[in-house]
Chains A and B, each alone.
Chain A
Amino acid sequence: MTPAPRPAPKAIAAADTILLGIGRGFSWLCSFCLLAMLVLTAATILLRPFGLSYYWIFPWVMVLFVWLSFFGFFPAMIFGRDIRIDFIARLFGDTGMLVTRIVGQIVVLFVLYWLLLELPEIVVRQSGSIDGAVLPWGGEAKRRILSLPLLLSCICITAALLVDVAKTFLGLPERNVDHLPGEVGDA
């Protein structure tokens, strides 16, 4: 008989599952933003020959673009789509991977600490409206809707990082170590 899992790993596994679910949700949100950008921009092109244009389309495309960028920040991290260079760590085997895992956690938490310290204040201070981003019920969308996804992603990345720190202490493996070192568009 296999021993029952200890409570700590069980709690961590549950937290991991929840975070993966949120990551998947954010990832779907990103895809929706991209699809909406595609549809709205296509509508602009198709309506142009008929002399039709809606001034609210472009501001909303920009809002969707910013959302796409920031909502994707968390799933990109949690699903290992960020760009990392593994070769030096791999040269030193398991020790190299463990040391760089801890260094990575410290560095990411250091950056997130400063972002999370400043972002809430920035969100609160952004009281102005986005020109042209009209809402169906009247008025224009507030500028803070642009920064909220970044704040949410930073909070989720922090939570995922803390789970990973706990996993490191318990000797559990990290989630994405076999991903390609980068898959970005320029290249």
Chain B
Amino acid sequence: MAILLFTVFIALILLRVPVSFAIGAAVVATFLTSDFSTAMQVIPQQILEGVNKASLTAVPFFIMAGNLMNAAGVTDRIFNFANALVGHFRAGLAQVNVLSSMIFAGISGAAVADCAGLGAIEIKAMRERGYKPEFAAAITVASAVIGPLIPPSIGLVIYAFLAQQSIDRMFLAGVVPGVLVGLSLMLWVRAIAIFRKFPTQPRAPVREVARTGVDGFLALLAPAIILGCILSGFVTATEAGVLACIYCIGLGLWYRELTWQTFFKALNETAMMTSVIMVIIGFSIAMGWLLAIEQVPQGVADWVFSLTESRAVFLALMMVFVLLIGCVVEGVPAKLILVPTLLPLVDLYGIDRVHFGIVLQLALLIGIATPPMGIGLYIVSEVGRVKFDKVALATLPLLIPLIVVLIMLAYIPALSTFLPDLILGPDATTLR
């Protein structure tokens, strides 16, 4: 049954069928060939139930915060500040690109907003300074991976919902890995700058750093406000998303860059993106119901456990598997299918669910920078006017630091669990 389900799903998405309908068709086909052929009403019921979940209401607000940042001119200010701060380093604008993504990640929860918003500014600036367009696009998509790791993160909200973990714990767990990814990319760029001649720029005067810092100060405060409000218990994750949106609207008005037109465009973009995600979630919940009823996750767990009892080997196999899945399936549907299937295994091997969530998140995020389904690659090739294959090729070396961090995260659980355990206390419900 599981083979039919996954074969139909993969075959259909490769045949240009919309992902939601590919899942839907796989579920319907499996229902019709199983003992549940007379219980087809379960499918729409599960879709309706799957969408009607309070913890998922945070999703649109974190998408909206990213869109509003771009509409409100916050993105330009972040870039200017990062440029004044690290622009004089070797391969300065590439370093600026990474640092900007780290700052942007503190408000936005989506890599798409980073690629489309910051990417447009960064690639243009790098081209003008003489960087190869494909390298500019490649570093943009590689650094966009940071966005959904550093809180807030839409992917982590969805994982928390699927793995029954608290959102604030998942958010805290993403901080160190997000910073590590950023630092690894900066180090990598610095290393390749030894062999490649990148354009240089003079150190910005202190006055310039101070000016851009003051200009971007309010934007830089946002991550602290969002995370602080959640951790203090003053607001829920959804409310923190709303606060982020209100803050971005306030900044847009303060900077006099947000107009009714740009506001409604951001609103509409967010509504469409949310709907696409939620419909996929709805169909995936129906798929999850079928998998659970047929005890597929348990079957997979027993089979894998019969192959190896080593946690280290399992983690290695899991990383390769998820990286390959991430190449062909987009993050949200991949997570919706993988999490319920892999969780019994995660528990069986005694892996912390928070730790697993972060490893899974990064492994799937690397997929945005890998062909053929790398969404980030398509976006930066579009906004940067660079050929897709050239960007894909230029991105390959930049995957090395990302994969190194992924391996570190997999084998050093404390990198993910230290901060949430320190601030929130150890999670008694999670197996270790």
Q: How many residues of B contact A (CB 8 A)?
A: 80
Partner of B277, one of A35, A147, A181, A186: A186
Q: Which of B66-88 contact A (CB under 8 A)?
A: none
Cβ of B399 under 8 Å from chain A: no
Cβ proximity bits B5-18 to A, threshold 8 Å, 1 near / 0 not: 00000001111111
- Interchain nearest-CB distance for A83 vs B (Å): 4
For residue A35, which residues in chain B have a CB less than 8 angstroms away from its CB?
A: 267
Decide if B332 touches A82 in the complex (CB within 8 Å).
Answer: no
CA of A137 to CA of B421, assembled, Å: 49
CA of A185 to CA of B382, assembled, Å: 18
Partner of A118, one of B43, B155, B275, B280: B43
Cβ proximity bits B229-266 to A, threshold 8 Å, 1 near / 0 not: 00000010011001101100000000000000000100
Cβ proximity bits B126-166 to A, threshold 8 Å, 1 near / 0 not: 00000000000000000000001000001100100000000
Given contacts A66-B51, A114-B40, 12 further A-B contacts (CB under 8 A): A30-B272, A45-B243, A58-B54, A61-B57, A65-B56, A69-B275, A73-B275, A82-B276, A107-B15, A114-B43, A150-B47, A184-B330
Q: Which of B338-357 contact A (CB under 8 A)?
A: none
Decide if B20 touches A82 in the complex (CB within 8 Å).
Answer: yes
Cβ of A55 under 8 Å from chain B: no
For residue B154, which residues in chain A have a CB less than 8 angstroms away from its CB?
A: 185-186
Decide if A186 touches B335 in the complex (CB within 8 Å).
Answer: yes
User: Which residue of chain A lies nearest to B153 when distances are taken between CB atoms in the complex?
Assistant: A186
- Interchain nearest-CB distance for B304 vs A (Å): 25
CA of A182 to CA of B110, assembled, Å: 13
Cβ proximity bits B203-215 to A, threshold 8 Å, 1 near / 0 not: 0000000000000
CA of A39 to CA of B110, assembled, Å: 22
CA of A181 to CA of B16, assembled, Å: 9
Cβ of B28 under 8 Å from chain A: yes
Decide if A187 touches B365 in the complex (CB within 8 Å).
Answer: yes
Decide if A185 touches B16 in the complex (CB within 8 Å).
Answer: no
CA of A44 to CA of B48, assembled, Å: 26
Decide if B16 touches A103 in the complex (CB within 8 Å).
Answer: yes
User: Which residue of chain A lies nearest to B379 when distances are taken between CB atoms in the complex?
Assistant: A180
Decide if B242 touches A42 in the complex (CB within 8 Å).
Answer: yes
User: Which residue of chain B lies nearest to A122 when distances are taken between CB atoms in the complex?
Assistant: B44
For residue B267, which residues in chain A have a CB less than 8 angstroms away from its CB?
A: 31, 34-35
User: Which residue of chain B lies nearest to A104 when distances are taken between CB atoms in the complex?
Assistant: B17
Partner of B17, one of A38, A45, A73, A107: A107
Q: Which of A140-187 contact B (CB under 8 A)?
A: 146-147, 150, 180-187
Interface of B is mostly: helix
Decide if B245 touches A38 in the complex (CB within 8 Å).
Answer: yes
Q: Which of A84-134 contact B (CB under 8 A)?
A: 84-89, 97, 100-101, 103-104, 107-108, 110-111, 114-115, 117-119, 121-122
What are some 17 contacts across the A-B interface (CB < 8 A)? A27-B271, A30-B268, A31-B267, A31-B271, A38-B246, A45-B239, A45-B243, A65-B57, A68-B274, A69-B278, A72-B276, A79-B272, A111-B21, A114-B40, A122-B44, A186-B154, A186-B364
Cβ of B287 under 8 Å from chain A: no
Decide if B110 touches A187 in the complex (CB within 8 Å).
Answer: yes
Decide if B264 touches A77 in the complex (CB within 8 Å).
Answer: no
Cβ proximity bits A40-65 to B, threshold 8 Å, 1 near / 0 not: 01101100000000000010011001
CA of A86 to CA of B378, assembled, Å: 11
Cβ of B104 under 8 Å from chain A: no
- Interchain nearest-CB distance for A164 vs B (Å): 13
CA of A150 to CA of B12, assembled, Å: 23
Known contacts: A68-B274, A108-B21, A118-B44. The answer to whether A86 contacts B242 by CB under 8 A is: no
For residue A101, which residues in chain B have a CB less than 8 angstroms away from its CB?
A: 16
Cβ of A76 under 8 Å from chain B: yes
Which listed segment binds A: B178-186, B193-201, B368-376, B406-414? B368-376
For residue A89, which residues in chain B have a CB less than 8 angstroms away from its CB?
A: 15-16
For residue B264, which residues in chain A have a CB less than 8 angstroms away from its CB?
A: 31
For residue B148, which residues in chain A have a CB less than 8 angstroms away from its CB?
A: 186-187
Cβ proximity bits B393-431 to A, threshold 8 Å, 1 near / 0 not: 000000000000000000000000000000000000000
Cβ of A33 under 8 Å from chain B: yes
